[in-house]
Chains A and B, each alone.
Chain A
């Protein structure tokens, strides 16, 4: 539908061969174009590929020296890809609303009839494209390290599945933080601090603390438990259902953050930041 100058609404018939897309799709397509054609996405992915090259080289060298078991080398590269992929997704999400507010471009977007939750969904989808690009870049590295032990398919599938759930959750978290933040700087700082807090336990020397407390820490941490799950499948050769409970935290984060973004979208995607309304 559209409006004539006299204010009467007329139905806009779609001529054969032409297609209309839902608002979230139009937002996602344009945001992705801005991300990739604008060059920001390409630079980030180039940086990721350099990082993966270094990690792969070190892992391969260590494997020859028998320091790192081949499965562990694949796991290392996959975990780096997931970690960096979700980090970038979170950062793009955290810039999604507060960044547009500060650049003055959000108001014109809000003035369209596209529902605000659809705007949030479109932005999340665009942020997620960065994760898929990072995953795509990581594929040859996983193949190089895993082809000799027939681990490539399993590693790529588990990485794609778990990484996508985690990236979607963090994109939604980033957008929610961005929506309620009063400045873009605050949004990016809070998001990065959150990611650091989630990653820190997985990087402790000797792994996470042992015992029930350590287990609980891994279980409630979506990043920690997702990486643990990937490690279980890739390194230990577990079946996909063997450590299924470790997927609970990433899935719960995905459902909760996605739910908040969709349900509270009209209150989050708005002209002013903060949590106290307009």
Chain B
């Protein structure tokens, strides 16, 4: 696919550039840092890919990460639950919240943009209410913090989680009939329905999966930062959407790939990391990201010429 090749070339260019102008960029330790810093957004972006493939969107993932983190904090620090149980509670919260999105989108037929706009506020609002806006949970056991701060050989502890989720979603989207139906739904919802695809169930399922991944991501987040607060994951949804669209998935659905999302994610993560190591202002990352996004869209429009406005 042309788009992915161009993106890979961009990524290669970035790596070369930052090796030259940055200090200690091209090291294994730094690669680990890049993975560690982008793991949470990565999980969100990977799970967002099937959502966007069906022509939907999920603006609530960042807020949901916060809610799950707060639930985890309350369960383990206030209610004194064992860590494993608290983790299950966090993930269950993600699934429940994802189901709310799923029900509103697939059963009531409300446009995903509006549903997730509402849940974007609702989820973070619940997190803020639960912590009275200020409470912060910390002092987690070292065994748990290892997940966010430790290394397994050369790799950061988050890496296996990220890899498993990436592979899982790649298989789902690109190697199963379910994945094929997701693309069909995005390409033409009515067409998919007439072809016998259970559109409501499939669409609902991708939002539940997105919620589940937000729950897992919240655990990585809390383990990495060592604290659970209501402002967790602010802005993550935008970064995740950017990674997905940069990776070539059409915002209208029907076209895209998990591999593209991973490339998009890598491009953004390397950009942020490289600018930091090159002692350049962090804001430049945002500006370059915006430019890359527009360029990617424009290029897509030029090369593929499909008029689906």
A, B from the same assembly: no
